[in-house]
Amino acid sequence: MSDIFREVEEDVRRERLERFWRRYGVWVAGGVALILAGVGGWVYWQHHQAQERLRLSEAFAAAQRITDPKQAAGAFAEIAKEASGGYALLARMSQANALYATGQLKAAVDMYREIGNADKGEIGNAARLRAAWIIAATASRKELEDLLAPLNRDGSAWQPMAREVLAFSDYRGAKIKSSADSFRAISEDARAPESLRNRARAMALFLENGAGADVGTVPETPAAAPPPLPGAAQPLTQPAPAQ
């Protein structure tokens, strides 16, 4: 009897399954096809992205080998147009470096500022610092403070480097005491790289020992007579008396 019940149960299941496939089979097959297409598309996209990253990496390396800054700037500009994310930022940073090397200081500073505004990470910080050094000799201290504000905050590893620019600005503005104190503080800042601490210590000593102070004027000395022009007649001299 149990065999009969089992056969009946299997027939019922088979009949239900056939009804299900007749009603929903097309939809199930379509769903499976969509899933397979989605997986295939994702795999293709991943492969395409990997190939694109490889191509950009090779183009970036080739641009770095260009020795002519003008040509290098053009090559990095093309990479920046095609790339996105980190590669785009690095390409624009390298383009700004190349512009600076060609003497296009304003264009370089403008691009550094754009990068600093677009990126709040390390690349943006480096761009702000480079722009600040380019204009340090001509910009007001307020302009430098505004540019370096994201770096010159407590807890920032970039703060000692930002303060070096501001200390130099004080020195340029004849604020010798303030500049010396700032350089001295940088030289004692454990966060600063050793090369920066050594440089700041040297500047502090330089300023503390009177550099930049008004020492008065140097007395004028009589100007020496200019040498005679070639071929000009020589002045007559009285011959020495005969002994």
**Same domain for 152 and 196:** yes
**Same domain for 53 and 7:** yes
Q: Could you tell me the pLDDT band of residue 28, with boundaries at 50, 70 and 90?
A: low
Lowest-pLDDT range of 82-96, 144-158, 192-206? 82-96
pLDDT confidence of residue 88: 86
Q: How far apart are CA 202 and CA 14, in angstroms?
A: 92
What's the rounded mean pLDDT across residues 19-27? 70
- The torsion angles phi and psi of 227, rounded to 5 degrees, stand at -65, 145
Query: Does 236 reside within a domain?
Result: no
Lowest-pLDDT range of 53-67, 73-87, 90-104? 53-67
Lowest-pLDDT range of 35-44, 75-84, 148-157, 205-214? 35-44
Query: Does 231 reside within a domain?
Result: no
**Same domain for 112 and 71:** yes
Lowest-pLDDT range of 84-98, 101-115, 151-165? 84-98
pLDDT confidence of residue 42: 63
Q: Total structural domains in the chain?
A: 3
Q: DSSP string of the chain?
A: -HHHHHHHHHHHHHHHHHHHHHHHHHHHHHHHHHHHHHHHHHHHHHHHHHHHHHHHHHHHHHHHT---HHHHHHHHHHHHHH--THHHHHHHHHHHHHHHHTT-HHHHHHHHHHHHHH--SHHHHHHHHHHHHHHTTTS-HHHHHHHHTTTSSTT-TTHHHHHHHHHHHHHHTT-HHHHHHHHHHHHT-TTS-HHHHHHHHHHHHHHHTTTT-----PPP-PPPPPPPPTTPPPPP-PPPPP-
Q: Could you tell me the pLDDT band of residue 82, with boundaries at 50, 70 and 90?
A: confident
Tokens of residue 240, six digits: 């020495």
Last residue of a domain, one of 21, 36, 58: 58
Mean pLDDT (the chain) is 80
**Same domain for 206 and 144:** yes
Positive/negative CA dihedral, 109, 115, 117, 121: negative
**Same domain for 187 and 202:** yes
Q: Could you tell me the pLDDT band of residue 35, with boundaries at 50, 70 and 90?
A: confident
Which residues span the domain enclosing 113? 66-135
Query: Does 200 reside within a domain?
Result: yes
Query: Does 42 reside within a domain?
Result: yes
**Same domain for 123 and 71:** yes
pTM of the complete model beyond 0.75: no
Query: Does 222 reside within a domain?
Result: no
Q: pLDDT > 90: what percent of the chain?
A: 49
Q: How far apart are CA 207 and CA 176, in angstroms?
A: 7
What's the rounded mean pLDDT across residues 131-135? 96
Last residue of a domain, one of 13, 32, 58: 58
**Same domain for 147 and 199:** yes
Express each pLDDT in 199-232 by its tens digit.
Answer: 999 999 999 998 755 544 444 544 444 444 444 4
Q: How far apart are CA 163 and CA 44, in angstroms?
A: 49
Q: How far apart are CA 193 and CA 90, in angstroms?
A: 23
